[in-house]
């Protein structure tokens, strides 16, 4: 296995000075990033690694059990400790583990006494200081339960409230009192839950229905993000449930991470039932709404290195770094985006660049910020106006009568006019 991914790491981390976007390697999936830019992840689900701007990408442990990495690789806010699922050399089984960068050593954390295949337990989330790690473990070979590890208490079973069904912890507040994750229902569907001091509660949307899986939580436990069916969600204990949507109804998505202040969320959308790396990442604030991550990076004047930021997995607690996996024309690449000094100015994130979906289009063309559009004109390649309207809505523009070919769409918003190339199929 090792020979397969050593080449994947070659040249990773050879970045230009003063870059703002970094390529962390081929088939690298970055899953977390610290306040000082230490990113953690894996290569080909076979070996854990971390990345820094100075050192590039460094491998810190290969699974030797013959299995693939289960769970996420996470890093503390100060970039000193990493958690993940690692093979215990004493047993050759995979279990929750904690890595100290300064010493280069793994500590193995155990499980609940049973295992499934070669896995005793798996790590999915960690407190900002590394004092607690959450995930799942096996009280019996056929059952997986959410667990929380601490140095003082070891691995504690958070249980499953549905008989013969599984649960998992995905994230934990910094004080260790609230764990968020999922609980299988009777049909095997994952529903969003949180455990507060060990007691499980279901998350509800504004209609009183159970949400889908809860993925990440702010340190104070007041805001939780995740996904329900087709869309990402934000749940706040006072503001309730907010759904993040995409203008293309054929896209589904999830929220993957939130800043400590609860103001900025990253996640992704992808074509229905398509691979995650074939979709597009987003950044979301309450003030600016959802914005395509590549468009946001372009608005900062950064070079995207030819990477489509398809799968952002984490934003640092302070909002200064975003990491994940993306695609180029012929590869999957890990990435780190370093935002301007001081982190993301959330109040100033505005989705101003006009985009249209889908493109190529067949019947209906959708516009981001459709409520701000005052007029649309469509021209063919010889400059003839073939369509115009001032009646814009979220239902999109009917382009079914246009003949196949290339067009220029001029969109007016306020005092600005933008042109977008459209392919009609």
Model pLDDT for residues 101-145, shown as the tens digit of each residue: 999 999 999 999 999 999 999 999 999 999 999 999 999 998 999
We find that the CATH architecture of domain 356-424 is Sandwich (2.60)
Nearest to 173 by CA among 129, 204, 108: 129
Residue 237 confidence class, pLDDT cut points 50, 70, 90: very high
In order, the DSSP letters of 146-184 are EEEEETTTEEEEEE-SSTT--EEEEEE-TTSSEEEEEEE
CATH 2.60.40 segments of the chain = 356-424
Strands 308-315 and 56-62: unpaired
Report the percentage of the chain scoring pLDDT > 90. Answer: 71
Domain boundaries 21-338, corresponding CATH code:
2.130.10.10
Higher pLDDT: 369 or 73? It is 73
pLDDT tens-digit readout, 160-208: 999 999 999 999 999 999 999 999 999 999 999 999 999 999 999 999 9
99 and 84 Cβ atoms separated by less than 8 Å:
yes
As a whole number of angstroms, the distance between CA 292 and CA 223 comes to: 22
| Mean predicted lDDT score pLDDT of the chain | 90
What are residue 370's phi and psi, to 5 degrees? -60, -30
What does the pLDDT look like over 295-305, one tens digit per residue? 888 888 889 99
Residue ranges of the chain assigned to CATH 2.130.10.10: 21-338
């Amino acid at each position: 296995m090792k020979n397969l991914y050593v080449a994947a790491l070659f040249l990773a981390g050879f970045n230009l000075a003063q870059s703002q976007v970094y390529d962390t390697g081929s088939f690298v999936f970055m899953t977390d990033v610290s306040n000082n830019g230490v990113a953690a992840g894996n290569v080909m689900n076979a070996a854990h690694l971390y990345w820094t701007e100075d050192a590039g990408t460094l491998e810190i442990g290969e699974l030797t059990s013959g299995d693939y990495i289960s769970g996420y690789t996470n890093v503390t806010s100060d970039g000193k400790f990493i958690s993940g699922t690692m093979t215990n050399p004493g047993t050759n089984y995979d279990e929750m583990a904690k890595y100290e960068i300064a010493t280069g050593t793994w500590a193995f954390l155990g499980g609940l006494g049973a295992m499934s295949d070669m896995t005793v337990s798996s790590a999915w989330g960690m407190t900002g200081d590394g004092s607690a790690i959450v995930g799942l473990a096996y009280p019996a070979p056929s059952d997986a339960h959410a667990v929380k590890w601490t140095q003082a208490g070891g691995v504690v079973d958070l249980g499953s409230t549905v008989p013969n069904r599984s649960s998992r912890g995905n994230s934990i507040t910094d004080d260790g009192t609230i764990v968020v994750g999922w609980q299988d229902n009777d049909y095997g569907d994952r529903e969003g839950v949180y455990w507060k001091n060990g007691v499980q509660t279901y998350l509800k949307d504004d209609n009183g229905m159970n949400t889908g899986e809860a993925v990440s939580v702010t340190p104070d436990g007041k805001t939780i993000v995740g996904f329900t069916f087709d869309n990402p969600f934000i749940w706040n204990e006072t503001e309730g449930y907010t759904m993040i949507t995409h203008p293309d109804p054929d896209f589904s998505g999830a929220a993957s991470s939130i800043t400590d202040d609860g103001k900025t969320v990253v996640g992704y959308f992808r074509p229905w039932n398509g691979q995650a790396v074939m979709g597009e990442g987003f950044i979301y604030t309450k003030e600016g709404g959802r914005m395509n991550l590549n468009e946001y990076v372009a608005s900062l004047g950064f070079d995207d290195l030819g990477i489509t930021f398809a799968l952002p997995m984490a934003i640092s607690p302070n909002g200064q770094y975003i990491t994940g996996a993306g695609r180029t024309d012929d590869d999957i690449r890990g990435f780190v985006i370093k935002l301007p000094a001081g982190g993301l100015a959330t109040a100033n994130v505005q989705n101003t660049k006009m985009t249209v979906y889908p493109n190529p289009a067949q019947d209906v063309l959708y516009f981001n910020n459709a409520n701000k559009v005052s007029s649309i004109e469509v021209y063919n390649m010889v400059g003839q106006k073939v369509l115009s309207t001032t009646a814009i809505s979220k239902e999109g523009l009917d382009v079914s009568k246009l003949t196949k070919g290339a067009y220029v769409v001029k969109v007016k918003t306020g005092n600005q006019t933008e042109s977008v190339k459209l392919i009609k199929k």
